[in-house]
């Protein structure tokens, strides 16, 4: 059975690691995990960083996987930072510049073609048709060629790419969406729940933007520069 590292990502509170260690499953304190793909079944499963190392034969593959739980290559104060899943991410000290570049390209590709683009109710212009072939090949191999990586990074940095479709902004949208949905599930029916739903549906999903007041009202823990460009 072959396991392929896919990403570090948020998981629902209460999610259990797929691997049984010391006779039991364990959870994730910060609700972040290393997501591995079972190549035989085509299914993805969550693992802690230590358990992920037990499952993957080539440990170097864990150094450069995309991390959706932190905005930068270094840990920042925010949702998911210092999480149990994040220690295997591309912000790790052993990741080479090439591995970091590939991880950045993979994350942008997944944000633009899947993780943000497929959020229910999100505006439809996030997916970018010229990336469809690259993304299809990535899904088949789970790897990017050097040329594909450079192309994706150049696209992300292009002056023609609006700020709202760049990597940091899309990651802000993704993180805010995850946190807002958690809050909405926790809050009892009433005016505050209506406020949270309105912030999510009318601002985040339609405009890909939140104001400082909305972030405070929803009690979101985001990067200090989230949604500022």
pLDDT digits (tens, 9 = 90+) for 193-225: 999 999 999 999 999 999 999 999 999 999 999
Q: What is the pLDDT of residue 72?
A: 60
Q: What is the pLDDT of residues 95-129, one digit of tens each?
A: 788 888 999 999 999 999 999 999 999 988 899 99
Which residue do the tokens 């950045």 mark?
104
Q: What is the pLDDT of residue 93?
A: 52
Residue 89: pLDDT over 50: no
pLDDT tens digits, one per residue of 63-80: 888 999 987 644 333 343
Share of the chain above pLDDT 70, in %: 89
* Distances, alpha carbon 94 to alpha carbons 6, 55, 63, 99, 160, in Å: 18, 19, 7, 9, 34
* Tally of CB atoms within 10 A around 191: 7
pTM equals: 0.88
Check residue 1 and give its pLDDT.
Answer: 67
pLDDT average, residue stretch 131-158? 95
- 18 token code pair: 């797929």
Q: What are the phi and psi torsion angles at 44 (to 5°)?
A: -100, 145
Query: In the chain, where are the structural domains located?
Result: 1-93, 96-229
Per-residue model confidence (pLDDT) at position 26: 82
Nearest CA-CA partner of 179 in 10, 7, 6: 10
Q: What is the pLDDT of residue 77?
A: 37
DSSP letter for each residue of the chain: --EEEEEEEE--TT-B-SS-BTTB--B-TTSEEEEEEETTTTEEEEE-HHHHHHH-S-GGGGTTB-BSS-SSSS--SSTTTT-TTGGGBTTSTT--HHHHHHHHHHHHHHIIIIITTTSTT--TTSS-GGGHHHHHHHHHHS---HHHHHHHHHHHH-TTS-GGGSHHHHHHHHHHHHHHHHHHHHSPSSHHHHHHHHIIIIIIHHHS---HHHHHHTT----TTTT--
| Percentage of residues of the chain with pLDDT beyond 90 | 70
How do residues 9-43 score in pLDDT, each as one tens digit? Answer: 999 998 999 988 777 778 888 889 999 999 999 99
| Of 166, 181, 153, the residue nearest 226 (C-alpha) | 166
Beta strands per DSSP E along the chain? 3-10, 32-38, 43-47
Q: Which residue has the tokens 């899309």?
A: 170
What is the number of other CB atoms lying within 10 angstroms of the CB of residue 88?
Answer: 26
């Amino acid at each position: 059975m072959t396991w392929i590292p896919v990403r570090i990502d948020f998981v629902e509170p209460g999610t259990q690691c797929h691997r049984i260690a010391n006779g039991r499953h364990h959870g994730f304190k910060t609700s972040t995990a290393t997501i591995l793909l079972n190549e035989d079944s085509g299914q993805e499963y969550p693992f802690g960083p230590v358990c992920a190392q037990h499952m993957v034969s080539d440990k170097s593959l864990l150094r450069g996987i995309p991390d959706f739980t932190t905005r930068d290559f270094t840990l920042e104060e925010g949702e998911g930072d210092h999480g149990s899943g994040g220690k295997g991410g591309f912000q790790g000290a052993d990741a080479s510049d090439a591995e970091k570049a590939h991880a950045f390209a993979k994350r942008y590709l997944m944000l633009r073609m899947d993780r943000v683009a497929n959020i229910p109710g999100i505006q439809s212009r996030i997916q970018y048709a010229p990336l469809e072939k690259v993304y299809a090949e990535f899904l088949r191999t789970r790897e990017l060629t050097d040329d594909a990586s450079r192309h994706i990074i150049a696209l992300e940095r292009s002056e023609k790419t609006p700020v709202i479709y760049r990597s940091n902004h899309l990651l802000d949208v993704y993180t805010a969406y995850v946190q807002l949905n958690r809050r909405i599930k926790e809050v009892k029916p009433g005016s505050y729940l209506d406020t949270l739903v309105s912030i999510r549906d009318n601002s985040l999903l339609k405009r890909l933007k939140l104001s400082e007041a909305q972030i405070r009202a929803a009690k979101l823990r985001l990067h200090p520069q989230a949604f500022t460009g």
